[in-house]
Structure 1
């Protein structure tokens, strides 16, 4: 059809050239004037259509932000957290839509408007200002949270806000109607001017006889330029780092660039002719039929971080856009896709998320440590007074209260032990450090640990063949080991196996690491007990947090371990799965 239209235009032009050649000089000035008038008429028609388009966009945008306002209101009523925050999902869409609507009105106002159109625009702007003021009252009421305020906000949503929205919609709709009428009138004027100009152009068409050679040269040059641009475009697509491929409507790959070779590992010869399902992970091919059906319907698809499969079977994540592909006649012949490898970005985001979580956990533990330190010091001072007073009373009284005083003294001693553990967690208890072989610590403690875990639990100790010198307090290392083994025992009430191992590990640089890169000594304690949920695992090092019955634990054992390890310059990593077991891995710097 396009080619036929070009042939028809060329025929008319050449006929005009031959028929009015003699009238060229006489009519040249009239032809120029006609061309200018035609151009002005076309510009007016274009402006009118642009105004109509902008008015219709504003009309649909008004319905859009009204819907988002109702959505965040419903979210607030249903108790969705942060529904009225600017960053809330529905609220953010509402604010973005209203901002876009303001831009729509500004774009309309920048155009040449009739008095009636300007009046409707003013009505719409005023109504929108009232609507936004009502919205501020609605949000303020919802954020207050009181039943009366929420009720008032609900009434505003269904009352005044809806009224001003109707005013906005009516004004914009009227503006669109007036713009359409203006566009129709301008189009008719442009058509009349065009007809008059065409007649004049026929008269002066002989000028084309003089410039035929120039036109032929320009056309030839344009064709060559178009071919060159197509070649450049093809080279850009071929050399792009993104994967670009084309496929038929049944999913067969027909085009494959070098970027696709780098992303997926298949050469063009290997990929062309294959089904695109080759690139999908097993179990994810069900959506392919839906995508191909949508593609045949002319729909476009966009996916972020979609999982794909490389030639070697490894997984790659891509951000992809799939759109319909048509020939010169507009017939749908297949689809084309551009896919960008976002695997590294996804991995960085995951590592950053882990690092942020660890940083937040460390900050929380530091805050708890400061609190525990202050409480422990104050509590120790009170206990010292109790113990001193107990000693004084014991000296001045007889044997009849000696038993009670002994019990007071024992309770105070136990309380002092608890405060000592708190100070260990808070890293406020001064100790002497020495270079200790981690293997020796485990070997010397084997007998004690075996007696501590009972007969229904098996203890396996596997130490490293090389020495593992660390700079720490020997007594505290023993305490770490005993606390972890006893904790593993308590996680296996029906019996099981506790495994204690030592060794070395290498840490690389990364946002998820809490220690500098390098080589570290590792002490690991594993069990095949009940395991922990993610919620419990995130809190196990908090002081006084325990999942044991009240009479079976103080909640300070693992908090003490955390404090000792942190004070030694190391870190502790927990891997746990419910009904499978738990592994504590302690990493300590190797002493020089």
Structure 2
């Protein structure tokens, strides 16, 4: 402890002086026993007295401070501040000031002190400048760290590509980063304190309808890939950008909501690229589909032309029965062509299936037989008897079966066996499959091909996913879509080198009558039928068929001609009973 001028020590003298000395001694004992940090300095800053705690905090011994000045321990950058304060303190008794300075310690570092300075020069037991120190080193270190982290956060927010907006609990904007400023067209200064709905203007991309609450929209959003979010942000100058948006509540340590943070990502360019890719993929898919259909139609036309030539030859040689057999094959080929056309229309429209009750066994056998014609692959069918009738669109389900058989063919380039098995099943209240409770027909298609690896089996029903060099990735995804629209399901079981088994589930029909797909008896009739079609061959063929069945046929090549003909027939009291029209004619 320093007591340079014995200000707080015992001194002889008068009774009054004795009392002063006793008070000083009591004060000194109180200071030494307390943890408070203080010093008494003269008008020039020299230490007159210091508490032991100052020495303890700084690491110096009390003797170190002998014959030293306060300024010797103050950080150079803080010296001007404290040297400016001292003259002001000396101007009047008991004048007080506060300052924060860095005080050198023994290790060569610095302690941060909040210092209270007061003029007690005229107080006899002190007789100097009283300085009380509060060590705030840890607090300042924490504050500096917090400031540093805040600066990092600000820099991060400023430079990230996403727009970030934070609001208070009432929706008033507290902060906007640079990306948000660019997207909205408002600066941080313009937006601060304003309601977020007045600054962030988002709307539905398709309808253009503005969302009433930006916060509600963002908090209920789920980030999605691509342009499925259909959200646009309209800037101050009216420019629209496609965005993905999300939000979260800001909570304090007591889990109370204090505000929200909203994040907007500009995905305009990404969406444009994805849409272009999607468009190109669709064009490529349609090209591949057209090529496949052209190949199938060529096969059908070969069958038709060949059988017609044979029928003509048999007729010339008087072999009528053989000619009828050939024409029957022509009729079958034409029905297959009609089904292919229906499949193409289904693909183009992507509409809901037109279902009717059907015994599916004949459809499966015909489709499989046609798809495997000319290949080295054999097939067997198990459980055809007593299969329940199902509600299906024949054209669409034929397309599903055809796709499955084509995949099996490609998995067995050197030949193999496809086993088709039927099962009637009942799905209970706790199904293991995503199907409604009820009765279903389960059909499995098992091949002996190369199989599917576990790494990709979960993705094979994804649109445009394919492992084939020339594949378009639409076949199985189309199967999945068609069966889902039928209220059915498709799944697969496979392993590399062990083949694959696809399972399809179709709901059983609740109707008692159904199409057995047997040959229908020719029904004759009578009446007037007006046919409107711009194709002369179709008019001629349809007319001959109708006349052969007992009907009167009338023809028009377009709408104007049909209207005139109808009017004339009606005036004569012979209005058509039925009108057949090609609706694609302009």
Same fold (TM over 0.5): no
TM-score (norm 2): 0.31
TM-score (norm 1): 0.31
Per residue, is there more helix in 1 or in 2? 1
Larger Rg: 2
